[in-house]
Amino acid sequence: MARPVFSATSPWQLVDADGRLVARGDSSETVSIGAANSVLRLTERGASTRSAGLQLMFAATGSGVVSVNGRRYRGELALVGADSAVQVINRVAVEAYLRGVVPRELGVRGPNERAALEAQAVAARSYAVTRLGNASRSYDLVATTSDQVYGGVDAENALADAAIAATEGLVLMYDGRVVSAPYYSTCGGSSAAPSELWRSGNEAFLKPVSDQIPGSDRYYCDAAPRFRWERTWRGDTLTAVVERYLRAVAQIAPGPVGTVRGVAVEGRTASGRVAAIVVDTDRGQYRVRGNDIRYVLRSPGGELLNSTYFSPEVVPAADGRLARLTLRGLGYGHGVGMCQWGAIGRARAGQDFRTILRTYFPGTSVARAY
């Protein structure tokens, strides 16, 4: 495995866990760091490798920006030996972190969509604040959709920066506490309550919210690329997909899952989403509920199902197997909390960020956390 290479836009230094200087360089110099048996090993300027301890901190001087493999980040980089790899943790202030999150989560937007960027900044800040100080691991958040997509300096743009600065320190509050403010791409017409998708209880501020534009048959999020969608599987392809992914969400006896003969919807939720599906195979029937459906009915390449807001068309084969399954659906994402394309549509319609947040998180207020 290639060792990560570190550099900075200003003079940099490496210090160990006790604050002792391990190495330094200027903006033209790089350092490569690997790990063996969780011990970090350092190679400077192409010279011989030497042991450098279990943990290091890589920091630039002044307002310099640090880089790992060419990707730029504000703050510092904590480097931790993890068996034969190096775990890299960007330690960065919340506001600087958001500069790398908001554009990645909402995309590059125009001036008439600034209120959506401001709503996204408050939601993302609230999500981050509720996860600070996680004692079970050495970092607070991961940089993917498991938490929030984070792209560092390379993701930043001026309009998103302005939205973050205009809402600095503002978070979403309910009943005197900062709340985790979930969001997703496109609701398809209505958001959902948590219990419709997840194995969790409901929150008073997370409930189905219609995205229909008053006095029309349109929706604030209907400009989204996946407001409407369709996905089709051949029977043999769906059998392979179910065989690969069903075990992660359902209790299944050892042996093959079986050849898929049909897929049926079992109930609808309050927002109109599919409550559960029953996958019928020649070895048994398997019930899959809520957001787990998206993890089972993937594309052949492994992409999650767009949403659980769909209707199926099942075409049987003459031998009793499934010839084809087509799902026609609405929306993209889990559906709980703020619809990002809905926020964009509402911003275009002239709503401010506080109105957008009050709509998707009923009963909440915006307040300053710091």
Confidence label for 195 from pLDDT (cuts 50, 70 and 90):
very high
Of the residues 46, 64, 91, which one is the last residue of a structural domain? 91
Specify if 290 maps to a domain.
yes
Instruction: Please state, in angstroms and rounded to a whole number, the distance separating the CA atoms of residues 175 and 26.
Output: 50
Beta bridge partners of 250: none
Tokens of 80: 């931790």
User: Could you please report the per-residue DSSP string of 12-69?
Assistant: EEEEETTS-EEEEE-TT--EEEEEETTEEEEEETT--EEEEESEEEEEESTT--EEET
324: enclosing H helix or E strand: strand 322-330
Query: Can you give the residue range of the structural domain that contains 293?
Result: 228-330
Specify if 210 maps to a domain.
no
pLDDT value for 80: 87
Tokens of 238: 């769906």
Average pLDDT rounded to a whole number, residues 229-252: 94
Specify if 220 maps to a domain.
no
Asked if residue 35 has pLDDT above 90, the reply is no
Beta bridge partners of 177: 174
* Residue type present at position 121: A
Task: Compute and round to an integer the Cα radius of gyration of the chain.
Answer: 24
Of the residues 40, 68, 91, which one is the last residue of a structural domain? 91
Of the residues 47, 65, 91, which one is the last residue of a structural domain? 91
Specify if 209 maps to a domain.
no
Confidence label for 66 from pLDDT (cuts 50, 70 and 90):
very high
pLDDT value for 43: 75
Average pLDDT rounded to a whole number, residues 286-297: 96
Strands of the sheet containing 177-178, edge to edge, are 177-178, 170-174, 365-368
163: enclosing H helix or E strand: helix 158-166
Instruction: Please state, in angstroms and rounded to a whole number, the distance separating the CA atoms of residues 81 and 203.
Output: 40
Confidence label for 292 from pLDDT (cuts 50, 70 and 90):
very high
Average pLDDT rounded to a whole number, residues 175-203: 95
Same domain, 174 and 113: yes
Q: What is the DSSP letter of 113?
A: G
pLDDT value for 49: 59
- Tell me the C-alpha to C-alpha distance, in Å, between residue 133 and each of 56, 126, 330, 339: 20, 14, 37, 28
> What does the longest C-alpha to C-alpha distance in the chain come to?
74
Specify if 282 maps to a domain.
yes
Nearest 5°: phi and psi at 71?
-90, 130
Specify if 309 maps to a domain.
yes
3-class DSSP state of 356: helix
Asked if residue 46 has pLDDT above 60, the reply is no
pLDDT value for 45: 60
Q: Quick check: pTM over 0.85?
A: yes
